[in-house]
């Protein structure tokens, strides 16, 4: 079984790849290097603390990179010709995308039944970017969910394979949230790949409603999210 991962090189994505490699052989990784940046400021100080936390908790401060786990090519976009031809030649059974830009049709068509995406949120309610932050902004804490779904031509629209809520406690801090989500994404993916091995397909069901699309969250609104999160966990 050939598995390809499309991702970016961040501590939580490196951790995800490492954990999947502990259970399955990854044939190759396509590392997307062109990171989208909006014209307005999106950075909030908690994100710097988040990166330090993930490097310590998920990677034990080890100096590791994606290429330590599988053959890796770097590309501005996973949709470009180099990536497409590389993936096409490998003829994968499963393609996992986590944290890349929008996947285009010509790439999906390489592996339409085995193309899956990890989404930080429930796509039946929150689609697009910064979805956990938008749920916190709206004080919609029930939607702090990790989802795994099939990929189709519409953004975050594919059939749901699995989804599970993030369990918070009164000691939780907002900079820890992405690591919590990553741990769940690992579990969802491992479970789904085992199902694929056993049944020859991912077990999934259609989404029942179309979630609202969200884009990048401005820094000012992330400050509100920090306060909302602190109040919420303080009342648990």
pLDDT in tens, 46-55: 999 999 999 9
Q: pLDDT at position 131, please?
A: 97
Asked whether residue 107 is domain-assigned, the answer is: yes
185 — phi, psi (to 5°)?
-60, -40
Asked whether residue 171 is domain-assigned, the answer is: yes
Asked whether residue 130 is domain-assigned, the answer is: no
Q: pLDDT at position 213, please?
A: 96
Residue 13's closest CA among 54, 48, 56? 54
Asked whether residue 26 is domain-assigned, the answer is: yes
* Segment (H or E) for 148: strand 145-150
Q: pLDDT at position 148, please?
A: 98
Print the domain residue range for 186.
3-122+144-207
Kindly list the distances between the CA atom of residue 123 and the CA atoms of 20, 89, 98, 140, in Å, as whole numbers in the listed order: 23, 31, 15, 14
Q: pLDDT at position 35, please?
A: 84
Alpha carbon distance 149, 122 (integer Å):
10
Classify residue 117 as left (phi > 0), alpha (psi -120 to 50) or beta.
beta
pLDDT tens string 21-45: 999 999 999 999 998 889 999 999 9
The burial class, CB within 10 Å (0-12 / 13-18 / 19+), for 141 is: middle
The burial class, CB within 10 Å (0-12 / 13-18 / 19+), for 96 is: buried
Asked whether residue 224 is domain-assigned, the answer is: no
Indicate which CATH number applies to the domain containing 83: 3.40.50.12230
Which residues fall within 8 angstroms of residue 10, CB to CB, at 6 or more apart? Answer: 51, 54, 99
Asked whether residue 8 is domain-assigned, the answer is: yes
Asked whether residue 219 is domain-assigned, the answer is: no
Residue linked to tokens 């996947």: 103
Residue 203's closest CA among 122, 116, 123? 116
Rg (CA), the chain: 17
Tell me the three state secondary structure of residue 166.
Answer: coil
Alpha carbon distance 141, 144 (integer Å):
6
Q: pLDDT at position 199, please?
A: 94
* Cα maximum dimension of the chain: 53
Domain count, the chain: 1
Q: pLDDT at position 155, please?
A: 86
Helices then strands (H, E): number in the chain?
A: 7, 9
pLDDT in tens, the chain (236 residues): 999 999 999 999 999 999 999 999 999 999 999 988 899 999 999 999 999 999 999 999 999 999 999 999 999 999 999 999 999 999 999 999 999 999 999 999 999 999 999 999 999 999 999 999 999 999 999 999 999 999 998 889 999 999 999 999 999 999 999 999 999 999 999 999 999 999 999 999 999 999 999 999 999 999 999 999 999 999 99
- Cβ(171)–Cβ(78) below 8 Å: no
Q: Please, how many CA atoms are within 13 Å of residue 134, restricted to the half-sphere of its CB?
A: 18
Asked whether residue 136 is domain-assigned, the answer is: no
């Amino acid at each position: 079984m050939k598995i390809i991962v499309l991702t970016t090189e961040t501590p939580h994505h490196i951790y995800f790849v490492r954990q999947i490699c502990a259970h399955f052989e990854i044939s190759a990784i396509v590392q997307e290097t062109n990171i989208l940046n909006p014209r307005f400021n999106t950075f909030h100080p908690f994100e710097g603390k988040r990166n330090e936390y993930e490097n310590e908790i998920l990677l034990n401060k080890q100096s590791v990179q994606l290429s330590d786990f599988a053959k890796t090519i770097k590309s501005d976009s996973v949709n470009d010709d180099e990536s497409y031809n590389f993936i096409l030649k490998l003829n994968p059974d499963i393609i996992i995308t986590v944290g890349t830009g929008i996947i285009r049709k010509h790439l999906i068509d390489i592996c339409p039944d085995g193309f899956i995406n990890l989404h930080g949120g429930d796509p039946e309610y929150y689609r697009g970017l910064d979805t956990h932050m938008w749920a916190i902004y709206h004080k919609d804490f029930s939607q702090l969910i990790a989802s795994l779904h099939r990929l189709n031509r519409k953004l975050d629209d594919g059939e749901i394979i699995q989804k599970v809520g993030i369990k918070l406690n009164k000691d939780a801090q907002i900079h820890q949230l992405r690591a919590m989500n990553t741990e769940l994404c690992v579990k969802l993916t491992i479970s789904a790949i085992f199902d694929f091995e056993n049944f020859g397909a991912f077990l999934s069901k259609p989404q029942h409603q179309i979630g609202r699309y969200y884009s990048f969250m401005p820094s000012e609104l992330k400050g509100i999210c920090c306060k909302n999160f602190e109040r919420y966990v303080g009342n648990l």
